[in-house]
Structure 1
């Protein structure tokens, strides 16, 4: 069975479609963050080295950074080229502990707390689970990096 719209109904349908689509077409332009100069891996990102640009490529994949506030103070994992969109996957938090440094190990169970000196076997940010060598005994333990730079040891 086939239906046909009368000519005045067809015009009405087009008018309704245009009135609904108008707000969609009038959306704010998509914005992205780009560096103003090349930023190398391991460097901290600062506002002075970034700018906002309008996204003109409709095929740009999702995952790019759209606000300078999101990334101010983060560190790059790879080289960021000037004028190129910054992907969120290219950034990480600053390391709270670095490999080979001296840290305090803390183990707590109920009312008992044991502390010892340790040396991380890898770089890590706050909240990361890492392996740490107890410098007194040489035993390798796992623990979570805390905001104050201590490592809370996980019980086996």
Structure 2
């Protein structure tokens, strides 16, 4: 009977100790480059490591908190190991380059017209860019599509 009381008392002491010393909260992680990433480099998963946000050398500001937000994007600034990655330091890849030949697509109802044009500015997915139609010389505007074509007018 005495050993049961000792066991119960020991269990109660262990519970009180656990309640008074809660486990430390898991610190949030932030992506940081493993090595220097230069402007124009496409950011890949294997180029990043996760560091505790408190261990990243940059305090304050708008910094990327999740690597999924930047993988596949392009570095706009030099990104250094051990430092947080600012949102302004990355951008979407340019699918349309100034001066490049692009496919112009007009689709409405059952009508589909496809021609080519010369891009007059760079653009990423969803950007509205100006393009000079190669056949007519007319400048049109359209949205850059995921395949690099430019959709003009229509629905």
TM-score of the aligned structures, taking structure 1 as reference length:
0.73
Aligned residue in 2 for 1:54? 52
Matched, 1:148 2:150: no
Aligned residue in 2 for 1:43? 41
Unaligned runs of 5+ in 1: 1-18
2-side partners of 1:70 and 1:98: how far apart?
Answer: 23
1:62 positional shift: 5.0
Deviation beyond 3 Å, 4+ runs, structure 1: none
Question: Aligned to 1:34, which of 26, 32, 35?
Answer: 32
1-side partners of 2:52 and 2:103: how far apart?
Answer: 47
How do 1:96-111 and structure 2 match up within 5 A? 96-111=95-110
Unaligned runs of 5+ in 2: 1-18
Aligned residue in 1 for 2:64? 65
- SS state at 1:94 partner: coil
How many residues are treated as equivalent by the alignment?
134
The CA RMSD over aligned residues, in Å, is 2.5
Aligned residue in 2 for 1:10? none
TM-score of the aligned structures, taking structure 2 as reference length:
0.74
- The answer to whether the Cα contact below 8 Å between 1:144 and 1:154 also exists between their aligned partners in 2 is no
Matched, 1:84 2:88: no
What whole-Å deviation, never above 9, does each CA across 1:119-140 have from its counterpart, x for those lacking one?
A: 1111211111111111122211
1:57 positional shift: 6.7
